[in-house]
Amino acid sequence: MSRPRLLVLARLQPQDMADRLASDYEVVTDIAQAGDVQAVLTAGNVGLTAEQMSALPDLRLIAVNGVGVDAVDLKQASERGIAVTTTPDVLSLAVAEMALGLALAAGRRIAEGDRFLRAGNWAAGGKLGLGMSVLERRAGILGYGRIGRRLADLLRGMGMQVLYTARQEKPGSPDEFRPDAVALARDCDLLFVTAAGGADTRGLVGAAALNALGSGGILVNVARGPVVDAAALAHALQTGAVAGAGLDVFDDEPNVPQSLLKAPNCVLTPHIGSATVEARRAMSRLVLDNIDAHFAGRPLLTPYEA
């Protein structure tokens, strides 16, 4: 029996999941050869543009290996009745863990200390400046979805006071609500960005929120680059308007602006929030289960609903 053809725009990890994909499907990686495919496998940070979608007249399913749908043209997908699936929940702990790691790395100067030691500065009698106790600070979560709430649980579990902002207050939440990013930043010391990307959240953290966060504050972004105004952040880091930042996501990945590369106390990682063996295996399994369900005519497991 011939295997269904599948346009694959994203690599599955670990290798056993890539092997399952290759054994169950005829993998096509060149969109020019994929005019007849019914399904596309893509990544959260890769998506599927309107132009790419237009080149696929038989498309019925966009399976995203990730939770971000900001890079998928949802308007065209909905107009054409194309289903979109994501991989919710299975990556939340990994991304929350990454956010915590970035806060610790910036607050406790871990990355800076590593560079300092390797450069021979410690051996030469140098001293690294003091860091700040991260767990004694108040945390603010911008975007209280699955990842934001998982992070809030972790931080609360470690004894931190947690505040959040979201489109609406969540009744029954153990954390304190603030109506917007500036009000949240004003009342916290560590501002964690976990909001979905896209037009609604672009530039939510700009000069006003950074100034409200203040000179003792740390900004962490594990969501999407454009949620934070990178130029305003670089300026705030240079002038000491904020104490530090930990960034896993950027506007134009994999390019990172010089202003951030040069900024003091800014820890930078290459979009690895969900990049653990555990999370990536679970994501791959879920993305493949969704594609299998489509071709078997079964209900999709995790359809994206706006």
Taking the least distance from each CB to ligand 8YV, the nearer of 189 and 248 is 248
CB 222 within 8 A of CB 245: no
Residue 79 exposed, middle or buried by CB count within 10 Å (0-12, 13-18, 19+) = exposed
Residue 100 C-beta: closest distance to ligand 8YV, Å: 16
Q: How far apart are CA 43 and CA 25, in angstroms?
A: 17
**Active-site pick, 26, 51, 253, 278:** 253
Taking the least distance from each CB to ligand 8YV, the nearer of 52 and 65 is 65
Q: How far apart are CA 266 and CA 216, in angstroms?
A: 14
Binding window for ligand 8YV (CB under 6 A); candidates: 41-49, 117-125, 134-142, 296-304: 41-49
Taking the least distance from each CB to ligand 8YV, the nearer of 63 and 236 is 63
Residue 65 C-beta: closest distance to ligand 8YV, Å: 4
**10 part of the interface to ligand 8YV, by CB under 6 A:** yes
**Active-site pick, 186, 224, 280, 294:** 224
**271 part of the interface to ligand 8YV, by CB under 6 A:** yes
**Active-site pick, 149, 271, 280, 294:** 271
Could you give the string, one character per residue 48-87, with x where binding to ligand 8YV holds by CB under 6 A and - elsewhere? -----------------xxxx-------------------
Residue 20 C-beta: closest distance to ligand 8YV, Å: 16
Tokens 């953290």 locate to 205
Site residues (CB under 6 A) for ligand 8YV, limited to 145-204: none
Strand, coil or helix: 114: helix
Binding window for ligand 8YV (CB under 6 A); candidates: 43-51, 74-82, 115-123, 198-206: 43-51
Strand, coil or helix: 172: coil
Number of other CB atoms surrounding residue 115 within 10 Å: 11
Phi/psi region, residue 86 (left: phi>0; alpha: psi -120 to 50; beta: rest), is beta
Site residues (CB under 6 A) for ligand 8YV, limited to 88-147: 91
Q: How far apart are CA 67 and CA 88, in angstroms?
A: 6
Taking the least distance from each CB to ligand 8YV, the nearer of 72 and 163 is 72
The answer to whether residue 294 is catalytic is: no
Strand, coil or helix: 176: strand
**45 part of the interface to ligand 8YV, by CB under 6 A:** yes
Q: How far apart are CA 16 and CA 137, in angstroms?
A: 42
Taking the least distance from each CB to ligand 8YV, the nearer of 44 and 148 is 44
Q: Which residue is nearest to ligand 8YV (CB)?
A: 44
Residue selected from 21, 39, 41, 43 as contacting ligand 8YV according to rule CB under 6 A: 43
CB 190 within 8 A of CB 103: yes
Nearest-Å Rg of the Cα atoms of the chain is 21
Q: Is there a cis peptide before residue 254, judged by omega within 30 degrees of 0?
A: yes
Q: How far apart are CA 261 and CA 4, in angstroms?
A: 44
Catalytic residues, which ones?
A: 224, 253, 271
Q: Give residues in contact with ligand 8YV (CB under 6 A).
A: 10, 43-45, 65-68, 91, 271, 273-274
